[in-house]
Structure 1
Amino acid sequence: MPKPLRILLVEDSPDDAELVELELIRGGLLPSIHRVETAAAMRAALDLDGWDVVLSDYNLPAFSAEAALDILQASGQDLPFVILSGMVNPRDAITLMKRGAHDFLDKSSLARLVPAIEREVSDAAERTRRRKAEEQVRVLSMAVEQSPVSVLITDTDGVITYANPCFCDNTGFARHEALGRTPAIVKGGHTSAEEYAELWRTIRAGNVWRGMFHNRRKDGSFYWDDASISPVRGPKGDITHYVGITQDVTQRQLKDQEVARAVEHLTEVNAELERFAYVASHDLQEPLRTLTSFTQLLARHQQGRLDVEAEEYMGFIIDAARHMHELINDLLIYSRIAGEGRAFVPVSLSRVCSQALRNLKSSVEEAGAAVTVGDLPEVCGDDVQLVQLFQNLLGNAVKFRHPGVAPRITVRAEPRGEEWLVSISDNGIGIQPSSQDIFEIFRRLHTHAEYPGTGIGLAVCKCIVQRHRGRIWAEPGPDGGSTFLFTLPPPPPAP
C-alpha cells in the first residue's frame, strides 16, 4: 500500500512539479503536494502545519532555496529540507547544507529522490523522538530536584549516586558528602538488623519496600522518615539501581505518639472510674437499703401514732431512698457500657426487639400499647447492649404518652449505604424544640413528679450506639409524637 506523504514544494515550474510527483508515485509513495513560488505563500503554507518534507528548487524568479530555508528555520519546524536543482554551484550547495539543508539532488537524476526523502523523514522522526525524550528527562530531572520529598538513588550495592536538594536540606549532608557513601550515614540506630535484612530481600527480589526509619541528621538530631524503596531495571530487565523516596513525618509521629499516650491514659482513667463505680455502687447501696428498711420499720412501728404531716415526711424519705437506689443502678449501667468490651458478633435485631418487649411486657400491657415491628435485619454488635438500647427507647415510647391515649409504636429498619438505619416512632407527647442535648446524662425534660426516672436512659442509648460506631438522634414523629433514629453496622461478610 502506498505510503502517504505531505510535501511542501518550492517550485515555479508546473512541469517539474509533475515530474517530482511521478517519481514519488513510482517509488511507492502517495504524495500530497502543495506548490509555492513566493516567501509569503511559503509562510502561509507553514502555518497550516502537518508537512513531512520541504523540496525546494534552488532559484526561482521571485524566491530562492536560501530564502526558503531561512523561512523554514524561522518557523521553528524541524522538517527535512531537500534542494532540487539542475543549475547550482557545488560551493553554494555546500554552504546551504552547512546552514541546515539536509540533502541536494540534481533534477536530472531523480532516482535518488525517494530514498533521500525516506531517509530524511526517518531522521527527522528520530530527532523529534530524541527531543521529546530529552525534554521528558529535563522535566523529570527538574521535578526531582524541586521535589518537596527526599529522593536518593543508589547502585545495587547501596552506594549513593544521586541525592536531591530536599535530602540534603533535611539531613544536613551536602550532596558531595552523600555521593559515594551509603544511606547508613543517616542511620539512627533504632531500626533492627532484621528490618534491614527484610528490606534488602524485598528490593533484590524486584519488589517495592515500604516502611519507617528513625534516622539521625548530620547535627545529631533524630527524625522519622516514611520511606518507599523501589528497584530500577535496565533495558534488559536486570536491576541496575534503587530509588528511595522518603518524607519527614517527625511531627506526625510525635502527634501520633501523643495521641497514643493520651488514649492509654484515658483507658487507665476509664478503667479506674469503672472500678470506682463498682465500689461506689456497692458502698452506697448498703446504707440506702438500711435507710429504706429502717424507715419502713419505723413507719410500721409508729403507725397510728404519727400525725398526717409526719407520715408524709416518712413517705418522702422512702421515695427519695428508692430514687437514689434507681439512680445508682442506672449510673452503674452507664459506666459499664463502654468498658465491658464484649466482642461484636452477628445479632438478629428481630430477636433483640422481641426480648426487649418481653422485658417490658407488664408496662406495655398496662398502657394498652400497640407495637408494630417491621422486618429487622441482622447487624454486628453486642446483643446484651442492643437489648438495653431497644428496651430504653421502647420503654420511653410507652412512658411518655398522652393521658388516656393508648401508645402506638412502630419499629422499622432500612439500609443506608453501608449501615442500617433503625427508627422507633410513637404517638406520645413528643419533644419540644430545644438547644439542649437530650442525650446528655441527667438531662430531664420533665419533672420527676410528672414522669419518674433518673435522666440517664437516653445517655445510655447514646453510649451504646457510639460503641457500635453509629449515630443516634430524634425527630418529630409522623403521629405528632417522637421518632428516635440510630444507625448500626451490618454483620461482616461470610468467609
Structure 2
Amino acid sequence: MDARPLRVILVEDSPDDAELVELELIRGGFSPTLLRVETAEDMRTGLQRGPWDLVLSDFNLPAFSAAGALETLQASGLDLPFIIMSGMVRAEEAVKLMKRGAHDFIDKAALARLVPAIERELRDAGERARRRAAEEQVRVLSMVVEQSPVSVVVTNTEGLMTYVNPCFRDTSGYGPAEVLGQPPSILRADAASGETYDDIWHTIQAGQVWRGTLHNCRKDGSSYWEEAAVSPVRDLDGRVSHYVGILRDVTERMARDQELRQAVEHLTRVNTELERFAYVASHDLQEPLRTLTSFTQLLERRLGGDMDAEAQEYMTFIIDAARRMHTLINDLLAYSRIATEEKGFVPVSMHEACAAAIRNLKSSIDDAGALVTIGELPQVMGDEIQLMQLFQNLIGNAVKFRKPGVTPTVVVETKRDDAEWRISVSDNGIGLSATSQDIFEIFRRLHNPSEYPGTGVGLAICKCIVQRHKGRIWVESEPGQGCTFFFTLPVTGLKPPEDQPGSGLASALAR
C-alpha cells in the first residue's frame, strides 16, 4: 500500500523525540512532512505556510507550551486536529486542555496509540469540513432564496404552504403569517385560475414539472400575472417531500404584449383597408379616364383642321396627361394586387421566371440593343407571376436608365448565403447618386420625368414582392458606374431544375 502523505506541525524542543514521532508515523503507513517549532512566533509563521493536516504538541517547552500552541492554532482560524504528547502531565491538566479544544492526549511512553488517534481525528476533521461546507451551501442557498428577485413558494405534500420568501410578500402583499398553512390557490384571480391550479396539482402529483402562466390577485385586490414553474422535491430515498414553485411577475410584460398585439391588429386592419381603397379607387378611376380619353379623341377628330396650333397643342397635352394617368392607375392596381394576393406558393424556377420577363421586355431590349445574361438561378417556393414581375421591373429599369452611346449590359446572377439565396441584377447604366431617400418608397423618383418617364411605383412593387416572399432587397451604386440590385429569397430545399435552357449563357441578345 502506498504511504499516505501527512503534513504535521510538531511543537517539540527535542530532536530525538521528533525523530521517534516521525518513525512511528512511517510505521503507521504515513509519509510525513514535519515542521518542528519551539515558539509561538515560529508556529504562527509555520501555519501560514500550510496547508497542514494536524498539530502534535509537547505539553511543556522552555519557551512555549501546549496551551500556548492551542491558543495560537485557534487564533489562526484553522480547524486542525490538535493532539497533546507528553510523559509528564497530570490527567487533570490534560482534561483542561481537552475542554478548551484539544482533541486527544497521547503518552510518549505509548506512541503505539498515535497513529490510530491521528486517523480518527483526521476522519473527524474531514467530517467537520464536509459539515461546514454543507452548512455554508445551505447558508448561501438560503440567502439566494431570501434575496431572489422572483417569488419562491414551498408546500408540503398536502399542498399547503410552508415557506414563502420576501419577494412573495412584495409581489402579493401577503406576509408569511397570512399564508402559511394555506394552499397557493388562495391567490387565484378568477374561476379560470382555479382550473389552472387543479392542473398544477395533478401534474406535480404525477412527479412532473408544471410550467405556465398564473392570473393571481394581490392582497389589495389588484390582479397580476406570473410565469411559474412548479416541481416536486424528493428526499434522499427518492420520495416526494415537498413541492416548490418559482414565480416571476410578468404583469408589465403581459400589458406590453397586449398593447403590441392590439397595435398590430389595428395596423393590419388599417393597412388592409388602405390596400382595398387603393384597389377600388384605382379600378373606379379607369372608367372616367377612358371616357375622358375617348371624348377628347372624338373632339380632336371632329374639329380636325378647324383647330389652330394652340388648340391642337392643348389637345395633345390633355391626351398625354390621360395616358400618364392611365399608366399610373395601372401601376397602382399592380401594387395593390401584390399586397392583397392570397395565392399560395408553389415551386418556381427562377430561371424560367427571368426568361419570361425578358420575353415581355423584348421590344425594349431590341430598341436599346441590350445584352442580358442569365446565370444559374435556383428553384424556390413562391408566386411565379410576381417573381417574373420582379425580374421584369429590375431588368426593365436597367435597360431604361442606360448610358447614351453605350451598349446596355445586364447580368443576373445568384449566390447562396446560408439559408437564403442572394440574387443580383447588375447593369452598366447611369447609376444612382448617394441619397438619404428610400428609393423603394412608392412614387419616389430620382430622375427627371422628361428624360426618364415612369410613375415611381416599379421599385415599390419589387420591394412588396420580395417582402411577401420573406426576403430583403437593396441596391449598391455609384453615379456613372451602373447599379446592382440585390434581393434574397429563402432556401427551400428544392432541387435545382435540371437542363435549364441557356443557364450561364446569354439568354437575350438584341442589337
TM-score of Structure 1 vs Structure 2, range by shorter chain: over 0.9
1:3 to 1:248, Cα distance in 2 relative to 1, 3 A: same
C-alpha distance in structure 1 between counterparts of 2:251 and 2:476, whole Å: 46
Report if the CA contact (8 A) 2:419-2:491 is conserved: yes
Check if 1:175 corresponds to 2:165.
no
C-alpha distance in structure 2 between counterparts of 1:190 and 1:309, whole Å: 82
Aligned position for 1:328? 329
Aligned position for 1:164? 165
| SS of corresponding position for 1:188 | coil
Aligned position for 2:118? 117
Aligned position for 2:430? 429
Aligned position for 2:242? 241
Q: TM-score, structure 2 length as denominator? A: 0.91
C-alpha distance in structure 2 between counterparts of 1:71 and 1:343, whole Å: 86
Report if the CA contact (8 A) 1:371-1:409 is conserved: yes
C-alpha distance in structure 2 between counterparts of 1:349 and 1:38, whole Å: 92
C-alpha distance in structure 2 between counterparts of 1:205 and 1:380, whole Å: 45
1:242 to 1:319, Cα distance in 2 relative to 1, 3 A: same
Instruction: Name the stretch that deviates more: 100-109 or 298-307.
Output: 298-307
Q: Tell me which amino acid in the other structure corresponds to 2:237.
A: K
- Cα displacement (A) at 1:190: 5.0
Check if 1:352 corresponds to 2:353.
yes
- Cα displacement (A) at 1:249: 1.1
C-alpha distance in structure 1 between counterparts of 2:19 and 2:298, whole Å: 131
1:176 to 1:360, Cα distance in 2 relative to 1, 3 A: same
Runs of 5+ in structure 2 lacking a partner?
Answer: 496-511
Aligned position for 1:140? 141
Aligned position for 1:456? 457
Q: Tell me which amino acid in the other structure corresponds to 1:86.
A: G
C-alpha distance in structure 2 between counterparts of 1:212 and 1:493, whole Å: 40
1:348 to 1:60, Cα distance in 2 relative to 1, 3 A: farther
Report if the CA contact (8 A) 1:469-1:489 is conserved: yes
Aligned position for 1:90? 91
Q: Tell me which amino acid in the other structure corresponds to 2:301.
A: R
- Cα displacement (A) at 1:379: 4.1
1:249 to 1:376, Cα distance in 2 relative to 1, 3 A: same
- Cα displacement (A) at 1:479: 7.6
CA RMSD of aligned residues (A): 2.1
Q: Tell me which amino acid in the other structure corresponds to 2:65.
A: S
1:243-284 CA-to-partner distances (Å, cap 9, x unmatched) read 111111111111111111122222222222232223212210
1:39-75 CA-to-partner distances (Å, cap 9, x unmatched) read 2221111111211111111112221111111111111
Report if the CA contact (8 A) 1:186-1:216 is conserved: yes
C-alpha distance in structure 1 between counterparts of 2:339 and 2:119, whole Å: 80
Aligned position for 2:376? 375
Please give the residue correspondences for 1:385-404 in structure 2 after superposition, counting only pairs within 5 Å: 385-404=386-405
Check if 1:79 corresponds to 2:80.
yes
Report if the CA contact (8 A) 2:204-2:231 is conserved: yes
Please give the residue correspondences for 1:129-278 in structure 2 after superposition, counting only pairs within 5 Å: 129-191=130-192, 194-278=195-279
Instruction: Name the stretch that deviates more: 26-35 or 299-308.
Output: 299-308
Instruction: Name the stretch that deviates more: 348-357 or 161-170.
Output: 348-357
C-alpha distance in structure 2 between counterparts of 1:115 and 1:380, whole Å: 81
Report if the CA contact (8 A) 2:196-2:214 is conserved: no
1:192 to 1:148, Cα distance in 2 relative to 1, 3 A: closer
Aligned position for 1:486? 487
Report if the CA contact (8 A) 1:270-1:339 is conserved: no
Q: Tell me which amino acid in the other structure corresponds to 1:329.
A: N
Runs of 5+ in structure 1 lacking a partner?
Answer: none
Aligned position for 2:473? 472
1:425-445 CA-to-partner distances (Å, cap 9, x unmatched) read 111011112222212211111
Q: Tell me which amino acid in the other structure corresponds to 2:17.
A: D
Instruction: Name the stretch that deviates more: 455-464 or 160-169.
Output: 455-464
Report if the CA contact (8 A) 1:350-1:376 is conserved: yes
Q: Tell me which amino acid in the other structure corresponds to 1:267.
A: T
| SS of corresponding position for 2:109 | coil
- Cα displacement (A) at 1:346: 5.0
Report if the CA contact (8 A) 2:150-2:167 is conserved: yes
Q: How many residues align structurally?
A: 494
C-alpha distance in structure 2 between counterparts of 1:25 and 1:414, whole Å: 76
Report if the CA contact (8 A) 1:346-1:491 is conserved: no
1:139-191 CA-to-partner distances (Å, cap 9, x unmatched) read 11111111111111112221111111111111111111111001111101153
C-alpha distance in structure 2 between counterparts of 1:64 and 1:132, whole Å: 32
- Cα displacement (A) at 1:451: 0.9
Report if the CA contact (8 A) 1:232-1:243 is conserved: yes
1:82-121 CA-to-partner distances (Å, cap 9, x unmatched) read 1111111111111111111111111111111111111111
C-alpha distance in structure 1 between counterparts of 2:351 and 2:478, whole Å: 22
Aligned position for 2:19? 18
- Cα displacement (A) at 1:477: 5.8
Instruction: Name the stretch that deviates more: 244-253 or 337-346.
Output: 337-346
C-alpha distance in structure 2 between counterparts of 1:341 and 1:357, whole Å: 26
C-alpha distance in structure 2 between counterparts of 1:119 and 1:345, whole Å: 80
